[in-house]
Amino acid sequence: METTHTPDSRQTSLRIGALFIVLALLELTWLHALSPLENRLSDWLVRQQAQSLLPDADIVIVDIDDPSLARMQETAGSWPWPRSVHGELVRGIAAQQPKAIVFDILFSERDTFRPESDLEFNRALRGLNNVFFPLVHQDGVTDEKDALAAQVATLLGLQRTEHADDKARIAVLPPLAVDPAHWRTGSINFKEDADGVGRRYQLYTDVGGWLLPSLPARVAQDMGYAVPQQADMVLAWRGKPGAFKHISYADLYEDFNREHTQRAAGELKDKIVIIGTAASGLHDVRVTPMDSLYPGMEILATAIDNLKNGRMMRPANPDFALYLTFLLLAFLNIAFLRGMNVIKAGMVLFASSLAALLVSYLAVAQLYLLPVLTPLVLAWGCNFAFALREYLRERKSREQAVQMFSRFVNPHVVKELVAHGGLSRAGESRQITILFSDIRGFTTLSEKRTPQQVVELLNRYFTLQVEVVFRHGGSLDKFIGDCIMAFWGAPLDDPDHARHAVEAALEMARVLQQFKRELGEEDADFDVGIGIHSGPAVVGLIGSEQRREYTAIGDTVNLGSRIEGLTKGVSRILVSRETMQACGDAFEFKSYGSFKVKGREQDVELFAPLEKGGKQE
């Protein structure tokens, strides 16, 4: 069902729409309060897509895992091991002709207790031009003791830009245990986003116009892979944690020291070999979209994989979320201004939400990140505001209907009526039974009392009789002077409307007797006449725009009034043949013959209903 809007209602809709447009602008340009939720959804989509992918098979991790720490205890002692151990491993790996050997272990301090170990390590590096080492950039802590970037540019692989400052100093922790002749270095600074999750890897760090490459960027450059000239990249993950091929450090070290090796002789040929640690005691783990404890060496491997294969996540245009938000808000504003049903608007928004989420999921497979959650949350908030407004408006309308109809309809009927959607404002034709009850001897009664007493007496009488009407499911149409007009069969359907009307008339007669006893002997002439007729009538809200009443009109109503006028001197209650027949065998009836009725050519046959046992009121 479509809803209609008054000017005030349209103004409210426009205010709600304007409010959410302002909220959208504030959220998307300044607040970013929904960014954590957006990131969680993005992480989930990335994780789902990554699980079905395999990482580059040419990237192999030599893992200093927990078993390696235990098994190397006798050979190398406790961690950190002598660098000569790593030298032996490098010789063994280099013999298989890998593309690169990348350490994810810092060598920033010389071994003062075992200097010969460092010398042995450096001997193992001689003649190798594909071994890479990490360094740490100390951001924001430069002083006079730090080296000038211009002086160490070649040593650290710094790239000069047109904005380079020759006086800029750079603070790093280089691999001091390694001879500078073997320095092929890059930073391994891994910065988390504002929510503490690491999704990016730095490619270059700008130090006074000098670009310090990260370790993945340095490896990619030296191997001839393209590296984007940008500060960082959003990692495109492949596989679950541990998906890269892992070889236990101890397994490889022990095999290199056997007289007859047991492992495949060329298993590392043309591979990019990353040496790092996933041992639980060394705590080299980070929070990433893939896991809250993701090994640092696998992050490094993912970054190298991304650069080697030219694949990284590409965030959507910054205006994408803004456009999508305004599109959804515009739809909701137009829909509600045009009176679209709340449920229909919600269904359209639900379908749009599913479509947006599906497109976002498919976009991740194509390495695009589409921020759809923030626009959807704002749109659903706007939809909720519109729905709440409609609910409050409808509730107010129903409360007004209850207040209006409770004056002339049984309150229980009103509640059921409101629950079923209210009344037809245009009116409708129904089969009803009409009842008129008029006071006899009212003039005499009025002469004995003051106006105030007459009003009190009438109010008391009407209250008792209306209670009877309501008790039997009737609707009070109106009071016409000292006459009561009521009907059955509307506004709710009542197939037994004739029987209920006659039952009410009989009880009204009994209540009359009780009321007369309250009045006393001096008002013995006080009596009523009740006329009842059944037939078709038009029922609905009838009147002007300023004042309307729920009433019944038509020939059936006119005849009911005429029958009430014929009761005087005949019977307290008279019903038409139509009413008698509609009652079936619920009552006994006494015929009073046919009567001439003004405005009708044919005589009207009238009957008096009898109480059980044949007693007539």
Write out pLDDT tens, residues 187-243. Answer: 999 999 999 999 999 999 999 999 999 999 999 999 999 999 999 999 999 999 999
pLDDT at 385 (0 to 100): 95
> Is residue 570 packed enough to be buried (19+ CB in 10 Å), middle (13-18) or exposed (0-12)?
middle
Comparing 346-350, 382-386, 408-412, 502-506, the range with the smallest average pLDDT is 408-412
Tokens read off for 538: 């038009």
For helices 320-337 and 7-26, the axis angle rounded to 10 degrees is 170
Q: Helix or strand or coil: residue 225? A: coil
- Work out the average pLDDT over 254-273: 95
For the chain, give the mean pLDDT. Answer: 91
Sorted by sequence, the CB contacts under 8 Å of residue 47 that are 6+ apart come out as 237, 289, 290
CA–CA separation, 456 vs 450, rounded Å? 10
CA–CA separation, 264 vs 271, rounded Å? 14
The CB-side HSE value for 350 (13 A sphere, CA atoms) comes to 7
More confident residue, 306 or 393: 306
pLDDT at 193 (0 to 100): 94
pLDDT at 1 over 50: no
H/E run at residue 25 = helix 7-26
Q: What share of the chain is helix, strand, coil (3-state, %, to 5)?
A: 45, 20, 35
Q: What is the CATH number of domain 408-610?
A: 3.30.70.1230
pLDDT at 543 (0 to 100): 79
Percent of the chain at pLDDT exceeding 70 = 93
DSSP-derived pairing of the beta strands 159-160 and 210-213: antiparallel
Domain ranges across the chain: 7-33+316-398, 56-310, 408-610
Which residue do the tokens 């029922």 mark? 539
Sign of CA dihedral 452, 457, 463, 469: negative
pLDDT at 2 (0 to 100): 52
Residue 362 neighbours by CB distance under 10 Å = 13
Tokens read off for 326: 């305004």
Expressed in angstroms, the distance from the first to the final Cα of the chain is 50
